[in-house]
């Protein structure tokens, strides 16, 4: 059984910090798991259903893996895989109390893998996600969503 430790660095949590930190010991693995929090301005929701019209607050957490492809002469590519996206919305339902909606998006389980697009920015360092776009398809069912996530930045 492997024990994972979590450490927060620059608004990202590294799930397997032991594997991450052994790079200094010349023994390293090429796969890492991270969790990153995105703010309201980093998430774009389109084709929202009527009940999600007036979103007051949004919290989003993305769990993803990075795989580094390397050869003797250096790093060749960085590949990304989304493990899950947790999205929490607080909607103004005036004159009633605000309503809370939670969505857990898990590629391959409750959404087709082909509906989750990963885009790489021109600058991949830092590698954390910088923009999440979710087309809700006018539905609250995760299976009807299509997701696009940008890693890195476009200059």
pLDDT value for 14: 56
> What is the reported pLDDT for 27?
39
Strands of the sheet containing 7-9, edge to edge, are: 7-9, 12-14, 31-38, 55-71, 74-91, 99-105
Alpha carbons 9 and 137: distance in angstroms, whole number: 35
pLDDT for residue 26: 42
In 3D space, the residue among 33, 47, 40 whose CA is nearest the CA of residue 5 turns out to be 33
The per-residue pLDDT string of the chain (155 residues; one tens digit each, 9 = 90 and over) reads 455 555 555 555 655 555 545 444 443 448 889 999 998 889 999 999 999 988 999 999 999 999 888 777 777 888 899 999 999 999 988 788 889 999 999 999 999 999 999 999 998 888 899 999 999 999 999 999 999 999 998 87
**Distances in Å between the alpha carbon of 73 and those of 23, 50, 69, 76, 143?**
17, 54, 11, 9, 42
Angle at 124 between CA 77 and CA 121, to 5 degrees: 100
- Please report the pLDDT score of residue 3 as a whole number: 52
């Amino acid at each position: 059984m492997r024990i994972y430790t979590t450490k927060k660095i620059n608004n990202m949590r590294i799930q397997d910090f032991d594997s991450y930190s052994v790079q200094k010991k010349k023994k390293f693995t090429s796969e890492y798991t991270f969790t990153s929090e995105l703010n309201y301005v980093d998430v774009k929701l389109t084709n929202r259903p009527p009940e999600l019209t007036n979103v007051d607050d949004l919290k989003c957490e993305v769990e993803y893996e990075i795989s580094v492809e390397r050869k003797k002469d250096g790093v060749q590519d960085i590949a990304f895989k989304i493990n899950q996206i947790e999205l929490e919305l607080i909607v103004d339902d005036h004159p009633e109390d605000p309503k809370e909606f939670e969505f857990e998006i898990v590629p391959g389980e409750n959404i087709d893998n082909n509906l989750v697009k990963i885009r790489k920015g021109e600058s991949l360092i830092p590698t954390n996600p910088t923009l999440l776009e979710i087309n809700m398809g006018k539905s609250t069912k995760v299976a009807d969503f299509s997701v696009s996530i940008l890693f890195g930045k476009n200059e």
